Structure 1
Amino acid sequence: MGLFKKNFFTIFLIALLLSMTACGSKSSENTASSSSSGSNDIQELTIKLAHEVAENTSQHTGSMAFKEYIEKASEGKIKVQVYPNGQLFGDKDVHQQLIANNIQFTQIDMAKLVGNDPRFNIPSLPFLFKGDDEAIKFWDSDKGMEIIQSLEKDGMYGLAMWPNGPKHLTNDKRPIKSPKDLKGLKFRTQGGQVLEKLFSAAEAGSVSMPFTELYTALQQGTVDGQTNTFVNIESKNFDEVQKYLTVSGEARVDLVFFANKKFMDDLNEPTRKIIDEGIKAGTEKARQASKDMNIEARKKLEERGEIEIYELSNEEKEEFRKVWSPIYDEFTPIIGEEYIEAAKQTNQ
């Protein structure tokens, strides 16, 4: 009888252990399955995108296309909050706020990034690109994307170039028809060594200041003029505080669409796919809107008649090229000849 009880107890223990092992295995399988299933779900997120310009700009139009695509494709699981006009952060702060992940997306003027990488001086080189198409072609190329993606080490993913267009000179003193007309005037710039040289080469002064402060600076005479795209001139009503506009196209305003690196790295695959498609949708819309809106903005400025508009002839542009040609000699070694040559190739 004692032997029977002993054998029975042993069998009972073995059966109990087998049962527990099976249950544990089943539980583990269920947990893994649940985790796997969760990783295939679209994450519920609230994304903040901040920029410094007005709603009636290509930058904002692209931002809204980005928002609309993502919210629709995620069926509302991902919400995108867009803050234009420096409402959330001024352009001095937006860079650091992106790195800190207080916002997840923004667009930054390349001229404001030259301290991080001097290759971002490329849009400021005088008369380098014929137009938007040529600039886009360069920035979409391997050489261009190499520059756009150069700030990953700082916690920023460079995603795409968003054009704002060619820049034109405005001031409240006199028409600008030749380099000598710039002499003695003070212009606001976005910043950057090349932009400073553009004005100093013509014996003009320059000062860097935030775009959000520019209207007041022009109104109060802190600066005599500025250089910007038709869209930025018209949308910010600079024609109210400037008398003369020269259609010069001497440089460009091009931006990089950035994302916070940690935010992007934390996305699962289906969520990342939606975000990536949203980036494409925003970029396509911004690029087309830049062309259309600059044409429309010029028309509005002409119709309002508040500012005298003068367009440089090819001969007059050649005068400026001669004055500014030493800039290429100085900055080619700094920027890199291979990048400048790649940019020039897009015009052929």
Structure 2
Amino acid sequence: MLKKWMLISVSLILILVVLTGCGARSTDQNTDSSNTDKSEDVDTNTKDSEPATETLKKEEVIVIKFSHVVAEDTPKGQAANMFKELAEKYTDGRVEVEVFPNSQLYNDDDVLAAVQQNNVQLAAPSTSKVSKLFPQWTIFDFPFAFEDVASVQAAMESEEIGGKLFKMLTDQDLLGLAMWDNGFKQMTLDDHPLYMPEDFEGQQFRVMSSKVLEAQFESVDAVPTPMPFSEVYSALEQGVINGQENTLSNIYSKKFHEVQRYMTISNHGYLGYAVITNDKFWNGLPDNIREQLQKALNETTQWVRENGERLNQENLDKIIADDMLEEIHYLTNEQKQAWIDVMNVVYEEYEDEVGADLINAVKELRDN
């Protein structure tokens, strides 16, 4: 009997254990169910909050990368920083402009492709670089095409010149927003002073990538050497090239005068920058943002026009104060005319490529 009673007791204990286990599993299942319900509540709340999320997305900061190749204390460098300040101010922080000077992201040979691909949203390449896509833009490279900065501004504001050139850009997913002046170019050389056209013979000059600029130096029997702006100083220092042409602000900021001995104030060529963006990016901006960016750009452009010449004069004063050049020569009227007479062949050589209409419009502007 005792054995039988012990067996019954063990059986009862086992049954209780099993029942307890089932109860525990039941409790766990209830807990999981409760958690699932809470999870669903969270999901439901998330769905209810989607409109708020969309609102946040609409208020996200728009980042504009602005790439250029010159130093920050040049007219273009200062203009880029001014645009950044005004753009961020007028959009109440909705836009953040990241400025990359000194070819930190792209040199002028590559930046237009980067804008087309929207890798950067703003660039201000020289007009010579734009001519790689549109030969007509080399009109700004023609020697002695413009008498002064006012003439350049008049050309860009005219439908025959500026209007026509900017319209071309949209064919390549680009959009022209403004023209920033850097002023007129001067000549530097290490070997000897440049007075007359024959003084150029055999000398190797760096040029921007432009057939017209190459033709300009070839007309005076010099050797043009296309080269990115970022490489010019070392090429001058190492004697790879003998000379170069550039604005006073670029000559001073890049210290070209430290590795050259002679400079001629010739004002023979204009150097300007086309402020260019990606067409789809710009037109895809909210209307109110685009309006404020355009306002910032207009004010910056006006500042450039009013201060570009002043900044170049200040840089000339600094070059003189540094006293590292052996001579700074100012072309006389007779010497200037001799340069014009020899270099005029460029107009005939590139009339078909650039277009007689553009060349005639520039000549008419120059003669008036």
TM normalised by structure 1 equals 0.86
Q: Which is worse superposed, 74-83 or 221-230?
A: 74-83
- Unmatched segments (≥5 aa) in structure 1: 1-33
Q: Work out the CA distance in 1 between the residues paired with 2:69 and 2:144.
A: 26
Instruction: Report if the CA contact (8 A) 1:239-1:306 is conserved.
Output: yes
Is residue 171 from structure 1 mapped to residue 192 from structure 2 by the alignment?
no
Q: Shift of residue 113 of structure 1?
A: 2.1
Aligned positions of 1:132-171 closer than 5 A = 132-143=149-160, 144-171=162-189
Are the structure 2 counterparts of residues 271 and 42 from structure 1 closer, same or farther at C-alpha, using a change threshold of 3 Å? farther
SS state at 1:130 partner: coil
Helix, strand or coil at the partner of 1:149: helix
Alpha-carbon distance between aligned partners in 2 of 1:202 and 1:340, rounded to the nearest angstrom: 21
Verify the 8 A CA contact 1:150 1:158 in the aligned structure 2: no
- Structure possessing the higher relative contact order (Cα contacts under 8 Å, 6 or more residues apart): 1
Preserved CA contact (<8 Å) 1:121 1:335: yes
- 1:248 matched to 2:266? The reply is yes
**Partner amino acid for 2:147?**
K
* 1:209-268, Cα deviation, whole Å (9 max, x unpaired): 100110000000110000001111011111110000011111111110001112112112
1:134, 1:267 → 2: CA distance?
A: 33
Is 1:232 aligned to residue 233 of structure 2? no
Structure with max Cα Rg: 2
Task: State yes or no: 1:287 paired with 2:305.
Answer: yes
Q: What secondary structure, in the 3-state scheme, does the structure 1 residue paired with 2:249 have?
A: helix
- Provide the residue aligned with 2:358 in structure 1: 339
SS of the residue aligned with 1:315? Answer: helix
- Using the alignment, how far apart are the partners of 2:114 and 2:86 within structure 1? 24
AA of the residue aligned to 2:178: A
Q: What are the equivalent positions in structure 2 for 1:68-217 lying under 5 Å apart?
A: 68-143=85-160, 144-217=162-235
Instruction: Tell me the distance in 2 between the aligned counterparts of 1:89 and 1:116.
Output: 17
Report the Cα distance in structure 2 between the residues aligned to 1:97 and 1:113, rounded to whole angstroms: 13
Deviations 1:131-186 (A, max 9, x none): 11110110121121221331212111111111111111101000000000000100
Query: Partners of 1:42 and 1:132 in 2: how far apart?
Result: 41
Gaps of 5+ in 2: 1-50
1:317: which partner in 2?
336
* Residue in structure 2 matching 1:258, options 276, 282, 307: 276
**What is the distance in 2 between the residues matched to 1:226 and 1:329?**
24
Shift of 1:281: 1.9
User: 2-side partners of 1:150 and 1:115: how far apart?
Assistant: 13
Task: Point out the more displaced range, 245-254 or 213-222.
Answer: 245-254
TM-score, normalised to structure 2, is 0.81
**CA distance, structure 1, for counterparts of residue 301 and residue 59 of structure 2:** 22
Task: Give the count of matched residue pairs.
Answer: 313
Is structure 2 residue 241 aligned with structure 1 residue 223? yes
Give every structure 1 segment of 4 or more consecutive aligned residues whose post-TM-superposition deviation is greater than 4 Å. none
Contact 2:108 2:126 in 1 (8 A): no
Say if 1:148 and 1:161, in contact at 8 Å, map to a contact too: no
* Identity fraction in percent: 33
CA contact (8 A) 1:199 1:206 kept: yes
Between the aligned partners of 2:304 and 2:120, the Cα distance in structure 1 is: 20
Deviation at 1:338, TM superposition (A): 2.1
- Structure 2: distance between partners of 1:344 and 1:65: 34
Is the Cα–Cα contact under 8 Å of residues 122 and 340 in structure 1 kept in the other structure? yes
- Of residues 172-181 and 79-88 in structure 1, the stretch that sits farther from structure 2 once superposed is 79-88
1:300 to 1:123, Cα distance in 2 relative to 1, 3 A? same
Give 3-state SS (helix, strand or coil) of 1:250's partner: coil
Within 1, Cα distance between the matches of 2:211 and 2:192?
A: 26
Which one of 294, 298, 307 corresponds to residue 276 of structure 1? 294
- SS of 1:151's partner is helix
CA distance in 2, matches of 1:43, 1:272: 15
Distance 2:314 2:117 in 1: 37
Name the SS for the 1:150 alignment partner.
helix
* 8 A Cα contact 1:201 1:323, kept in partner: yes
Separation in 1, partners of 2:365, 2:182: 18
